């Protein structure tokens, strides 16, 4: 009787193996999605690992921590490297890693909101520009005035000598 209930609930050995293979594949291909936040990513990851645990596929904590770090987007590479260098991953738990990543995510969102508020408070300066033709005409007029003054200086100098 117990065996029949177990088969009805879990399926035959072939069904179990198929489910395990599917879950292992999900685990191996697990990546953070571009629209994921840390909480969503960890929820998806925990669901996969819990289902594997139901089929007696228990993963080491260190393996799960390393898998999560590998699955992070490239924009997280700096915090990933910091965690790998500053902490002993063999003793870190998934929950500890989640806390560190959530803290970093909150800091990133805070920085983004600060940047947005700075952009909104930007000051616009009024500028004026003259056409090149106007500038050239003014330069020509200045040159003519300077040439006349120079001629007049030369005439005065000749008269003195």
Q: Is 153 domain-assigned?
A: no
Give yes or no for residue 72 having a pLDDT over 80.
Answer: yes
What's the whole-number mean pLDDT along residues 76-104?
Answer: 96
Give yes or no for residue 122 having a pLDDT over 90.
Answer: no
pLDDT at 83: 96
pLDDT at 33: 96
Q: Is 118 domain-assigned?
A: no
Tell me, yes or no, if the pTM score tops 0.95: no
What's the whole-number mean pLDDT along residues 108-127?
Answer: 70
Q: Residue 104 has what DSSP assignment? A: H
Sequence-separated (6 or more) residues with CB below 8 Å from residue 83:
69, 89, 92, 97, 100
Segment 93-114, tens digit of pLDDT:
999 999 999 999 999 888 887 6
Q: Is 120 domain-assigned?
A: no
Give yes or no for residue 42 having a pLDDT over 90.
Answer: yes
pLDDT at 43: 97
Give yes or no for residue 52 having a pLDDT over 90.
Answer: yes
pLDDT at 13: 85
Q: Is 139 domain-assigned?
A: no
What whole-number percentage of the chain has pLDDT above 90?
A: 57
pLDDT at 69: 98
CA dist 66 and 70 (Å) reads 6
Q: Is 29 domain-assigned?
A: yes
Q: Is 130 domain-assigned?
A: no
Q: Quick one: pLDDT band at residue 11, thresholds 50, 70, 90? A: low
Q: Is 19 domain-assigned?
A: yes
* Residue 44 near residue 30 (C-beta atoms within 8 A): yes
Residue 24's domain comprises 2-112
Q: Is 8 domain-assigned?
A: yes
Three state DSSP letters for 43-71: HHHHHHHHHHHHCCCCCCHHHHHHHHHHH
Averaged pLDDT of the chain = 85
Q: What angle do CA 87, 93, 94 make, to 5 degrees?
A: 110
Report the domain count for the chain: 1
């Amino acid at each position: 009787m117990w065996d029949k209930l177990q088969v009805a609930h879990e399926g035959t050995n072939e069904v179990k193996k198929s489910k395990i293979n599917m879950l292992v594949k999900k685990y191996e291909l697990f990546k953070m999605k571009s629209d994921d936040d840390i909480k969503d990513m960890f929820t998806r990851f925990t669901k996969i690992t819990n289902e594997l645990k139901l089929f007696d596929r228990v993963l080491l904590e260190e393996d799960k921590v390393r898998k999560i770090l590998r699955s992070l987007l490239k924009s997280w590479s700096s915090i990933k490297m910091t965690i790998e260098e500053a902490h002993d991953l063999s003793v870190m738990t998934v929950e500890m890693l989640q806390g560190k990543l959530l803290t970093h995510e909150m800091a990133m969102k805070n920085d983004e909101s600060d940047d947005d508020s700075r952009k909104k408070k930007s000051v616009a300066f009024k500028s004026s520009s003259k056409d090149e033709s106007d500038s050239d005409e003014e330069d020509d007029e200045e040159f003519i005035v300077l040439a006349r003054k120079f001629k007049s200086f030369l005439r005065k100098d000749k008269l003195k000598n």
